[in-house]
Chain A
Amino acid sequence: RKEVEQDPGPFNVPEGATVAFNCTYSNSASQSFFWYRQDCRKEPKLLMSVYSSGNEDGRFTAQLNRASQYISLLIRDSKLSDSATYLCVVSNNAGNMLTFGGGTRLMVKP
């Protein structure tokens, strides 16, 4: 079993749609959780951290369920510019090493 698992997609959605990605992780001692975004032929960039209480940044909402060991990302009112690969990332219990999921590809169409 992979340490961090994601549905690779692609998720093809129309502009304005709401789309949700889930991610599961295997190490219950994991410390921190993140969503990164990676555009084609670019490096990953931090989208948002994920907190136990859930957090929202504009159209993006991230949630963490430690009991079930999954993380979610919700994107509302999708834009064409949201098309990218979204990487679920989990840090180890020391907080100094990241493990990446395989990524979920999102394609937003007009």
Chain B
Amino acid sequence: SAVISQKPSRDICQRGTSLTIQCQVDSQVTMMFWYRQQPGQSLTLIATANQGSEATYESGFVIDKFPISRPNLTFSTLTVSNMSPEDSSIYLCSAIGQGFGQYFGPGTRLTVT
């Protein structure tokens, strides 16, 4: 298995500002993902974080709004840019590694006022 940590665990931000969320995995993983889970909803994939290259975004998500970095096999960041109240959500980092299924970080609970 893998242990995934995220920072911050929660934040309250003003509209128009940006927040960067960090994700750290305790072992090398093949794939890392960022998901969003809005209140009462299931998970929606934002993008696949690719090591050393641009992330692969799902329909409805763009790099200018959600820039993602993955400088190595165990670390990734997601930035939520120019935030609005509609961005209030839980953001979850996830990873797949050799020999284990897909695991999730504890999530970052974002509230935009």
Contact = CB atoms under 8 A, between A and B. Distances in A.
Nearest to A103: B42
Nearest to B4: A43
Contacts of A44: 43, 92, 104
B82 to A, nearest CB: 26
Interface string A49-90: 100000000000000000000000000000000000001000
Interface of B: 31, 33, 41-45, 48, 92, 96, 101-107
Report, nearest first, the 6 A-B pairs whose CB atoms are least far apart: A43-B104, A100-B43, A102-B42, A100-B42, A46-B101, A103-B42
A97 interface: yes
A87 B31 CA distance: 21
B57 to A, nearest CB: 13
Contacts of B48: 97
27 contacts: A34-B101, A34-B102, A42-B106, A42-B107, A43-B105, A43-B106, A43-B107, A44-B43, A44-B92, A44-B104, A45-B103, A45-B104, A46-B101, A46-B103, A49-B101, A87-B42, A96-B31, A96-B96, A97-B33, A97-B48, A98-B102, A99-B45, A100-B43, A100-B44, A102-B41, A102-B42, A103-B42
Interface residues of A, number: 16
Contacts of A103: 42
Contact of B45 (A43, A97, A102): A97
Contacts of A96: 31, 96
Contacts of A46: 101-103
